[in-house]
Amino acid sequence: MVRENVDVDNLQITGAKPSSESPLTVSDEVIIVVNQAFGPDGDELVGISDVSFDGFPALTLLVRAADREELVHLSPIHGDRRKRGMEGLPSGTKCVLCCPVSKKPLPKVGRIGDSEAEYCAVYLTRKLDEGSTIYVSDVWDHHDSRIIDNNEMISLWVAAEGEAEEEEAEA
């Protein structure tokens, strides 16, 4: 992850692992699984279909693009690019990401860096707290999502943990 693309002025990176009350699971110290996620009205987005990835229920969004509207099931494993739905949609297509329950568009967060992608917020708690969100790109096959938990960039923490483990293994 390129640090210059992270709005570090608005984040406090402490290195703290997600708490036991967090809607995230950290597995094998570097794998994050989203256990719960909510749309703009607090509707559940994880486990609302029978689709799963490695035994974990999918995070489901309604996607509108290229005169199509379909449910897309995303792997809840952060960094896992697997998804089901919208097969055949060309890479780079701009999409409107919506809650599959309310059909309301997900709130826009904005751009990060010089990418044309805009990020949309999926909330990690029923409180719909902006400090606990997943930022999902609105460009098809742009796999650069972000996870914010308690105003910390968890994605950055995972990358740092992975690098530290690699350095230890090399020593």
H or E stretch at 148: strand 146-149
Q: What is the mean pLDDT of residues 37-52?
A: 97
Q: How confident is the model at residue 92 (pLDDT cuts 50, 70, 90)?
A: very high
Kindly tell me if the per-residue pLDDT of 11 is higher than 50: no
Through-space distance between the first and last CA atoms of the chain, rounded to whole angstroms: 23
Residue 9, classified by CB atoms within 10 Å of its CB into exposed (0-12), middle (13-18) or buried (19+), is: exposed
Question: Does residue 1 lie in a domain region?
Answer: no
Question: Does residue 9 lie in a domain region?
Answer: no
Residues 142-159: pLDDT tens digits? 877 776 766 555 554 455
H or E stretch at 129: none
| CA torsion through residues 82, 85, 110, 27, sign | negative
Residue range(s) defining the domain that contains residue 48: 18-170
Triad 162, 36, 109: Cα angle to 5°: 75
Number of domains in the chain: 1
How far from chain centre, in Å, is Cα 152?
A: 14
Question: Does residue 146 lie in a domain region?
Answer: yes
pLDDT for 41: 97
